[in-house]
């Protein structure tokens, strides 16, 4: 049986099922979420609840966070009164699995080291399905020792767990992942609308293309969402917009040319401005449909 007590903060679409998997694997668990009602299901399954991030930190050996964005991670870790670092202990391992800016991941890592703790950035890919099934891809930045200690626990949450380099390296990999997913959703949307307006059945199109070089996971996993216009998240479009912002800022810092990412970022901005930020990112299809005057 695992002996280390795990703290888990951020029990949303991803964090809730991930925490549940750790509990089922036998880890003693302490949880906290801003909307406290989200703790109830895990408490009923045997977890303890804590009143603040600081309280979680004071009760665990390894702490995991799964929060929306960089400012949330800064608040949860660095708030001098209620934050994780304020309650951190020497020897503790802090793993942030949110998708955030690499620079913020490095700042959290520095603050952890000052408190005698170790921090890893370990963002994920694989979506809500991967979170539930424990099959996520996990991209890790941080020290070798921190990675070795985290590995058994990350193996419960994911199938592909890779250490990419120093603090921030995991977040850089995640930004690359988000470029590929967004651009693929946009390209699939263009293909589906073109086929449909030309009178080719989009469902059959996906079937035939899946057997060739253009076959991809987006088409496989989001097939039903596209075809039925079911944009229940999944992955909220506003979060993907946030991730492309991280990718664009990082590219600008490094002087890297990412024109297609910039265009898809603007499409997501338009959907968000129209009040669609809470829809699944496959709703990018709507932009292409509206501009083409054709619904598939
Ligand atoms: P989500 O459903 O919005 O969950 C975020 C959770 O964090 C919410 O339950 C929220 O509480 C909680 N939270 C926010 N601020 C907090 C604070 N200060 N203290 C305590 N709890 C706080 O988002 P998600 O889809 O799980 O995504 C989480 C992260 O994973 C994001 O960075 C996202 O980009 C990344 N990600 C998501 C997916 C996906 O498919 N969903 C896939 C890969 C990566 P409230 O209930 O109060 O809002």
Q: What is the pLDDT of residues 159-195, one digit of tens each?
A: 999 999 999 999 999 999 999 999 999 999 999 999 9
Residue 2 has a pLDDT of: 74
Partnered with residue 236 across adjacent β-strands are 280
Q: How far, in Å, is the centroid of ligand 1 from the Cα of 14?
A: 7
Residue minimizing CA distance to atom 4 of ligand 1: 12
Which segments of the chain have a pLDDT < 70? Answer: 1
CATH of 6-165, one of 3.40.50.2300, 3.40.50.720, 3.30.870.10, 3.30.750.200: 3.40.50.720
Give the distance (Å) from ligand 1 centre to CA of residue 165: 25
The reply to whether 172-292 shares the fold of 6-165 is no
Distance 239 CA to ligand 1 centre (A): 9
| Residue nearest ligand 1's atom 9 by CA | 12
Check residue 41 and give its pLDDT: 98
Ligand 1: atom nearest CA of 98 is: 32
* Predicted local distance difference test score (pLDDT) of residue 280: 97
Domain ranges of the chain: 6-165, 172-292
Is any atom of ligand 1 closer than 6 Å to the C-beta of 13? Answer: yes
Q: Among residues 89, 174, 197, 236, which one is catalytic? A: 174
Ligand 1 centroid to residue 74 C-alpha, Å = 14
Q: What is the pTM of this model?
A: 0.94
Is 89 among the catalytic positions?
A: no
In short, whether 79's Cβ falls inside 6 Å of ligand 1 is: no
State the CATH architecture for 172-292.
Orthogonal Bundle (1.10)
**Which pLDDT does position 1 carry in this prediction?**
62
Query: The tokens 């699995």 sit on which residue?
Result: 97
Q: Is 127 in the pocket of ligand 1 (CB under 6 A)?
A: yes
Output the pLDDT for position 142.
98
Residue whose CA lies nearest to ligand 1 atom number 40: 127
Which ligand 1 atom sits closest to the C-alpha of 32?
20
């Amino acid at each position: 049986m695992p002996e280390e007590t795990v703290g888990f903060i951020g029990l949303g679409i991803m964090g809730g099922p991930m925490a549940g998997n750790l509990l089922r694997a036998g880890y003693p668990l302490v949880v906290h979420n801003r909307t406290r009602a989200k703790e109830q299901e895990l408490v009923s399954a045997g977890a303890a609840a804590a009143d603040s991030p600081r309280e979680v930190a004071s009760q665990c050996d390894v702490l995991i966070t799964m929060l929306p964005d960089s400012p949330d991670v800064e608040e949860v870790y660095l708030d001098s009164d209620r934050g994780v670092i304020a309650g951190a202990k020497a020897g503790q391992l802090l793993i942030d699995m949110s998708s955030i800016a690499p620079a913020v991941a490095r700042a959290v890592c520095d603050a952890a080291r000052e408190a005698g703790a170790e921090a890893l950035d370990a963002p994920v890919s694989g979506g809500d399905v991967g979170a539930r099934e424990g099959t996520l891809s996990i991209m890790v930045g941080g020290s070798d020792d921190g990675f070795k200690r985290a590995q058994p626990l990350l193996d419960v949450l994911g199938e592909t767990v890779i250490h990419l380099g120093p603090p921030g390296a995991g977040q850089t990999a995640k930004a690359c992942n988000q470029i590929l997913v967004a651009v693929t959703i946009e390209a699939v949307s263009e293909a589906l609308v073109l086929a449909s307006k030309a009178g080719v059945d989009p469902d059959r199109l996906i079937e035939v293309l899946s057997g060739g070089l253009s076959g991809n996971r987006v088409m496989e996993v989001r097939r039903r969402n596209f075809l039925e216009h079911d944009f229940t998240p999944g992955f909220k479009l506003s979060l993907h917009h946030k991730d492309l912002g991280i990718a664009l800022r990082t590219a600008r810092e490094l002087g890297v040319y990412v024109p297609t990412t910039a265009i898809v970022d603007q499409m997501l901005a338009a959907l968000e401005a129209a009040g669609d930020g809470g829809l699944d990112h496959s709703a990018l299809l709507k932009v292409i449909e509206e501009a083409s005057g054709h619904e598939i």
